[in-house]
Structure 1
Amino acid sequence: MTIRPATAADLPAIDRVFRTSFCDTFAHLYDPADLKAFLHGFTPEAWAAEFADPAYAFAVGETDGAVVGYAKLGPNKLPHVEPGAVIELKQLYLLKQAHGTGVAPALMDWALGQARRRGAERMALSVWSENWRAQAFYRRFGFEDRGPVHFMVGNQADEDRVWETRL
């Protein structure tokens, strides 16, 4: 397993991991039109724009030379988080084959370290209110529930929870 900063050449693999993981985990919850509308917002141009923005940082997790997960940090846009030196873990996704391999904790360690290097004192994230596995994972890293937020998938509003930890 390798965790490394992403390059622009990794963006197609990041998109593949995102789409595959999101659909494997959540597609059954949505009307196909809502899922399609949500995924339509993740274009090569959108990935490239975030990657080029110095406010964002990406890392990939590889096994046997293939990208099986990634993490993305960026400016906090979540409610229930006091302003100040805070960064948001925008995404941390893995392919199913990478569950239980240590890639997720290694990506989280990268994210926490990167956040500290960027001067953040706190990290925030959102997670679906019924994603118990992810919530247990974040709890192990000291995250605490701060309150609800709507996460839109097409026209469907899901209840996510905002979580935060001190760095």
Structure 2
Amino acid sequence: MITYRDARTIDGPELAAMARRSFTETFGTLYPQSDLAAFLDQAFGANGLPSQLSDPDFAIRLALAAKENGGEEIIGFVKMGPVTFPGEWRPDAIELYQFYVLGAWHGEGVAQQLMAWSLEHARSHGAREIILSVYVDNHRAHRFYEKYGFEDIGRIAFRVGETVDDDNLMRLLL
């Protein structure tokens, strides 16, 4: 059984571990180990994702699956907040920062539920557009976002340690 709820500060360590695992399973082979480690520490260390759980500028929704021995584990999440990409953005824009679902849960409807929450969250907070970036060669993610009406609007550099990748900027007008 899968349940969904807003993240709480206490979720920080487990959420960070899940995010590290998801990023590594998706992109881990693309980078030298030192670059991957530097990125994971920056993005998901104490000053990264866990610190944003108590920041009112960010909203994080979790997908949790029941464990066989009781309790739940985080299997996916989405994070939204103010747009931080360089450039001029509408004041009613919101950024979809991270959208992660563990590979074992792909095809189980988790991503669709998290996207439904993202769209509702954006609309209920007065957003008129959602901005995100996605790795240029992450074709699965591109297809997913395009299915919801996101369109490519440019490119942006994305740094993983010393490695600089190209990401596509995408926008959805609400």
Deviation at 1:143, TM superposition (A): 0.3
**Structure 2: how far apart are the matches of 1:139 and 1:37?**
31
**What is the TM-score of this pair, normalised by structure 1?**
0.94
**What is the TM-score of this pair, normalised by structure 2?**
0.91
**Structure 1: how far apart are the matches of 2:35 and 2:47?**
21
1:99-153, Cα deviation, whole Å (9 max, x unpaired): 1110111001111111111111100100000100000000111100011000000
- Given that 1:87 and 1:120 are in contact with CA atoms closer than 8 Å, whether structure 2 keeps it comes out as yes
Counterpart amino acid of residue 46 in structure 2: P
Give the CA RMSD over aligned residues. Answer: 1.4
**Structure 1: how far apart are the matches of 2:48 and 2:124?**
25
Deviation at 1:24, TM superposition (A): 0.6
**Structure 1: how far apart are the matches of 2:169 and 2:54?**
26
What is the match of residue 97 of structure 2? 90
- Given that 1:37 and 1:154 are in contact with CA atoms closer than 8 Å, whether structure 2 keeps it comes out as yes
Counterpart amino acid of residue 24 in structure 2: C
**Are 1:113 and 2:120 counterparts?**
yes
Aligned pair count reads 167
Return 5+ residue gaps in structure 1 as ranges: none
What is the match of residue 6 of structure 1? 7
What is the match of residue 47 of structure 1? 49
Identity %: 38
Deviation at 1:70, TM superposition (A): 0.5
- Given that 1:79 and 1:162 are in contact with CA atoms closer than 8 Å, whether structure 2 keeps it comes out as no
Counterpart amino acid of residue 151 in structure 1: F
Question: Where in structure 2 are the equivalents of 1:15-54 lying within 5 Å?
Answer: 15-41=16-42, 42-54=44-56
What is the match of residue 165 of structure 2? 158
Report runs of 4+ in structure 1 exceeding 6 Å deviation.
none
Greater RCO structure (CA 8 Å; 6+ sep)? 1
2:80 to 73, 78, 83: 73
Deviation at 1:79, TM superposition (A): 4.2
Q: In structure 2, do the counterparts of structure 1 residues 81 and 108 end up closer, same or farther at CA, with 3 Å as the change threshold?
A: farther
- Given that 2:15 and 2:50 are in contact with CA atoms closer than 8 Å, whether structure 1 keeps it comes out as no
**Structure 1: how far apart are the matches of 2:134 and 2:29?**
17
Secondary structure class of the residue paired with 1:52: coil
**Structure 2: how far apart are the matches of 1:125 and 1:88?**
6
